[in-house]
Amino acid sequence: MLPPMRYSFAPMATPLVRSASFFEDKNRAFWILQSAGWSGYFILRALGGIANAMGWLFVVPTAITTATGYSLTLLMSAIYRRLFGRSPSIIWPVSIVILMIAAAGFSSIETYAHATFYRTGPPPAGIQLLSAILLDFSVLGAWSALYYGINFYLLAEDQSDQLLRLEAQASSAQLAMLRYQLNPHFLFNTLNSISTLVLLKQTDRANAMLSRLSSFLRYTLVSEPEGEMSVSQEMDTLRLYLDIEKMRFEERLRANFDVDPDAADARMPSLLLQPLVENAVKYAVTPKEEGADVNVSVRRSGNRVHIRVSDTGPGSNLSEAMERATVSTGVGLANIRDRLLQAYGQDHRFDIQAGDDGFAVTIEIPYQTARS
């Protein structure tokens, strides 16, 4: 018995779907955050002044200050919005200049408003108007950081979603390509057999094979190219395929199915096993005068599904076994390896065994149902 050859692959990125979020409507989210933020500022400043024995009159200059900050940040957002898409060497210097000018204006209005209600004598002028610039610069700086942070996060998320969509489209296209390799390959062999039957004037057998071929194609084409089907549906497809092949080989082809009822509803890539059975027909049934057995076994073990396709064809010749494992029927084993990688990433097992008792392929995949 040759040691099994195992193929392992790196995990594939799974496409994610971005759900509707608070920022789905960016304009609405901005106004909600803007209003909530400055409302919180007003409440905290007013309560702080009252707690420090400034009296209820402190609410008036606080309201003026809050309205000033609210208005200034609206102007700042309009300017910041125009800076998006430009180089960092333009965004950051311009933003800092805008922030400093806004802080100076904010401080001037805040200082003048509080002086009007709490200070006697001449109103503040000149450098006195900047007495609150450190606090106001911090407030506006925090607002600017949040504005840029949220917008850059949303921009990065949009780009990530776009990349995931492109990856999903590429993966879907590759799955479709792998699936579409199967039917033309099998169709050529079957039509060639029908042509032979017609030349031999075996019209009844040719008609029967055409009928089975139409049933097989109708059954396989109803599913999406990148879709899945249950184990029971996959077994029905294999039976249709083997009915066609039995028209060619008659008693030389002996098919046996052993399917665990607990695994019947498990999902798997559609037409995954058909190339393996075709491989067994080509290498086991065709070269032997007495034909060969083709066995398909499916078992469920916990949250895993074990699938084994084996035959009693020649497998003792090392070079012949290696050629069969690597070349197969043109699109067989290589196609299956790629489809398993696309569907499950590293979460699968694919073993090939060849020896005196024949050739076998073992596949292990996660147990998944349509509901799960």
Which parts of 84-120 fold into alpha helices (H)?
88-118
Tokens 């996060």 label which residue? Answer: 153
Give the architecture (CATH level 2) of 181-366. 2-Layer Sandwich (3.30)
Rg (CA), the chain: 36
User: What are the backbone angles phi and psi of residue 127, rounded to the nearest 5°?
Assistant: -65, -20
pLDDT tens digit at each of 372 positions of the chain: 334 444 333 333 333 334 447 888 888 999 999 999 999 999 999 999 888 888 888 899 999 999 999 999 999 999 999 998 788 889 999 999 999 999 999 999 999 888 888 776 677 888 888 888 999 999 999 999 999 999 888 888 888 887 777 666 565 555 555 455 555 656 777 788 888 888 888 888 888 888 888 877 776 666 554 567 899 988 988 888 888 888 778 889 999 999 999 999 999 988 788 888 888 888 888 888 888 999 999 999 999 999 999 998 765 454 555 555 555 544 567 778 888 887 888 899 999 887 767 888 999 999 998 776
The answer to whether 298 touches 260, Cβ cutoff 8 Å, is: yes
The answer to whether 103 and 111 have CB atoms below 8 angstroms apart is no
CB atoms within 10 A of CB 80: 19
Q: Where in the chain is the domain with CATH 3.30.565.10?
A: 181-366
Total-model pTM? 0.52
